[in-house]
Structure 1
Amino acid sequence: MAILLETSRAPAGEDGNPALESLEFGVAKRVKRVAIVFSGGPAPAANAVIAAVTTSFLEVGIEVLGIFHGYTNLQDYDPVSHPMVALEHFRSLAPADIRGIRNTRGIIIGTARVNPGAPIVTPSDLFNPEKTERLARIHHALADLGVDALISIGGDDTLKTANYLYQYQLHHVAQENRVRIVHLPKTIDNDYRGIDFTFGFFTAVDVMAKELLNLRADCIATSSYFMVETMGRKAGWLSYGVAIAGEASMVVSTEDVQGDLAIEEARVDPVTGEKTVELRLSITALVDRIVDLMLERERRDQYYGTVVLAEGLAELLPQNASAGLPRDEHGHIRLAAFDLAKLACDRVQARYEERTGRRKKVRHIQLGYESRCAPPHAFDVMLASQLGIGAYRALIEEQLDGHMVSVSGQLDLHYIEFSKLINAKTLRTDVRLIPSGSDFHRLARFLEAQSGRFHAWSPGQRFEPESEKPSE
């Protein structure tokens, strides 16, 4: 059994390179080379975290490899038929590569959504050579590259992959041959457990809120409504943030599917066969709630508005409405291919006319992609930079393995074991939802009631022609 050093910082070797690994047989394995893998969707400040990681390791003489396009080439590695080729599949990063990039758009090493752990469903699958083949290839590739530690950057699916690789090595790789792993949380959805805010979130909110304000001005001028679908697959942090900052008339997210917005639906787990009853979104109730809002605002002489809908509501549609929709490498519905805003728009427009006998101009739009590579907000740059430095401190100063880097308070660093973030039975991550009735949740509810403009006069309601559909 390996014995971890007790000191807060590992002793330096003759070349000044601090030791990383535990002591085994009296010999300390030192980190000489690390690799960075960025996986999943882009997020503002991605280059800030890459720059911080690279700078911190280069400063003490540790080489940093930037792996291109996530796990794409690592998972297909073969030393003969598919080797890892320098400058084609990875790059040894130099100070010049990361100088002045903290505030730049994009991801200098690229990203991808490949899922090396797709065949793994239960813990027992980690002992199945066929299901762990791609994990074995990743380890083989990193070992052949001489990588001592891997810095994983990505969302909850990437954390899941990092844990798969960590668990695979615990069971199948000798201690002295393991590649240490730390994970840095990234998602504009801000739905990570173990950290209050993830880098990219504030930039995404800012970009989409400004677009929402433009749409709101359009609605005021044309006496109309916009159904605005925002990113946010599992939780409502992003849609709520956009609605609050963008002065929306209403926001609805996955956390709101309860009470009259929910219907019960029986479901059978395709893997375990377990039967459960789940809450699903009632489209009829959602449409009526939006029309109720429109009618209430008319009583206040407010004939316009914007309604923000989290894209994740599509995953809560009844099974007969979501069957056959395309899915990504992680089994999620490709939400961009399912236009929830258009569905709501068409039904709200029809329901409004049914209830009032009048036509109303209602339009729809999807927001999200334009925010993922926007120039990063200053806070996101600071947060990403601290997480990047945290990767160095976790591996070198704290000698950790299988941990996620986190911050709290005034960007104070913390390190959380994968086992505290991953469900041991399902090997899945638990999403951090907005607690119903929390102060943040109540903030949005309060501001919804204050979203109208109160002037001494207004142009009043614009009536749409009855003989033709409202023009786009």
Structure 2
Amino acid sequence: MRVGVLTGGGDCPGLNAVIRAIVRKGERHYGDELVGFLDAWDGVLDRRTVPLSVEFMRGMLPRGGTVLGTRRGSPFDTEDGVERVKQTMSDLGLDGLIVIGGNGSLSVACRLHSEHNIPIVGVPKTIDNDIVGTDVTFGFNTAVQIATDAIDRLHTTAESHDRVMVVEVMGRHTGWIATSAGIAGGATAVLIPEIPFDIDELCARLSRRHDRGRFASIVVVAEGSEPIPGTLEMEDKVLDRFGHVVLGGVATRIAIAIGKRTGFEARVVQLGHVQRGGTPTAFDRVLSTRFGVAAIDAVHDEAWGKMAVLRGEKILQEDLTVAVGKTRTVDMDLYEGVAKHFFA
């Protein structure tokens, strides 16, 4: 078979490992010819491709980012986008397309298959771990490890200066990274988008620690966290060209409020895109490889409209429709039942 591959949305540790697995099993086991599209859907629309081979992907397993390049956008953004996708696949003789991406990319893939009968298989990808249908997404484990390493280092400087360190991590709609890194790093408090926070309650908790002689505290906050309405003045929201709220800065507002209400010195650390880049962990390399193998197997099963997912210890196939328009939020048994017992 002749199969196209693209990566869409934000970059993520493990993308190259997925591509490598697709190519390795596709070429060596099935005798496939793999074609990579550069810069996500733009590459499909503009027919910018690169031949993918085992030799081309050599050494890519531990490499972060994506060798194919990635960006946001969709064929549905232009009037003739869908027809151009169909024409590209026809002219290149493609039997199917593997789309590796997050909620947005998988929604586009689902729509192209269900509404236009384009043969597509999906691979779920996001460091936020918020895709419905799979227990874990690759890249998440790496992001948590990076955030945990940072928190570990911040403990000592916080203790040396009797400071409150407010650490902002990624998490637009969910607090998976914040919760997991907060537990692993021994944070004082974790704020997540699922639960609006009370700045007065947070400051009271920090004051109680101070009264017990614990002057250093770590507050982990997901970038999409918001206060209970009317309790903390926030900056006006700004949208990017895709209509997404530009995030980043909530930690600064929180740190200022802590300083004013408690008198404690509070400093901000925004990890930002450091969480996305660099070498994937061993866990993410294994998961990415398993997803890639499952994706090319699904192509040969002609399981169009499906995506590879992790359920327990097994990789299974799930309908793309399961993920569309939904967000996998933090398990409250983890946040309320485990994490809160250690946040103090």
TM-score by length of 2: 0.93
Q: 1:407 offset after TM fit, Å? A: 1.8
SS in 1 for 2:82: helix
Name 2:75's counterpart in structure 1: 116
Q: 1:117 to 1:447 in 2, by over 3 A?
A: farther
Name 1:342's counterpart in structure 2: 252
Name 2:290's counterpart in structure 1: 386
Q: 1:322 offset after TM fit, Å? A: 6.0
Q: 1:324 offset after TM fit, Å? A: 5.0
- Backbone CA RMSD of aligned residues: 2.0
Q: 1:117 to 1:313 in 2, by over 3 A?
A: farther
Correspondent of 2:56 among 97, 115, 122: 97
Name 1:364's counterpart in structure 2: 268
Name 1:49's counterpart in structure 2: 18
Mark the runs of 5 or more structure 1 residues left unpaired by the alignment.
Answer: 1-31, 78-83, 120-129, 171-178, 262-285, 353-358, 423-428, 450-472
Q: Deviations over 1:267-306 (max 9, x none)?
A: xxxxxxxxxxxxxxxxxxx321221111110122101101
Alignment of 1:167-178 (within 5 A): 167-170=114-117
TM-score by length of 1: 0.69
Mark the runs of 5 or more structure 2 residues left unpaired by the alignment.
Answer: none
Larger Rg: 1
2:26 aligned with 1:67, yes or no? no
Q: Deviations over 1:400-448 (max 9, x none)?
A: 11111112222x22111123333xxxxxx21011233x14542211121
Correspondent of 1:240 among 175, 179, 182: 179
In 1, Cα distance between equivalents of 2:299 and 2:228: 40
Correspondent of 2:320 among 393, 415, 418: 418
In 2, Cα distance between equivalents of 1:325 and 1:314: 15
Q: 1:118 offset after TM fit, Å? A: 4.8
Q: 1:287 to 1:440 in 2, by over 3 A?
A: closer
Q: 1:360 to 1:322 in 2, by over 3 A?
A: closer
In 1, Cα distance between equivalents of 2:185 and 2:89: 45
Alignment of 1:51-450 (within 5 A): 51-59=20-28, 60-75=30-45, 77=46, 84=47, 89-118=48-77, 130=79, 133-170=80-117, 179-257=118-196, 261=197, 286-314=198-226, 321=234, 323=236, 325-329=238-242, 331-336=243-248, 339-352=249-262, 359-396=263-300, 398-410=301-313, 412-422=314-324, 429-436=325-332, 438-449=333-344
Name 1:16's counterpart in structure 2: none
In 1, Cα distance between equivalents of 2:134 and 2:155: 32
In 2, Cα distance between equivalents of 1:167 and 1:316: 40
Q: 1:315 to 1:61 in 2, by over 3 A?
A: farther
Q: 1:95 to 1:316 in 2, by over 3 A?
A: farther
User: Could you tell me which amino acid in structure 2 is paired with residue 236 of structure 1?
Assistant: G
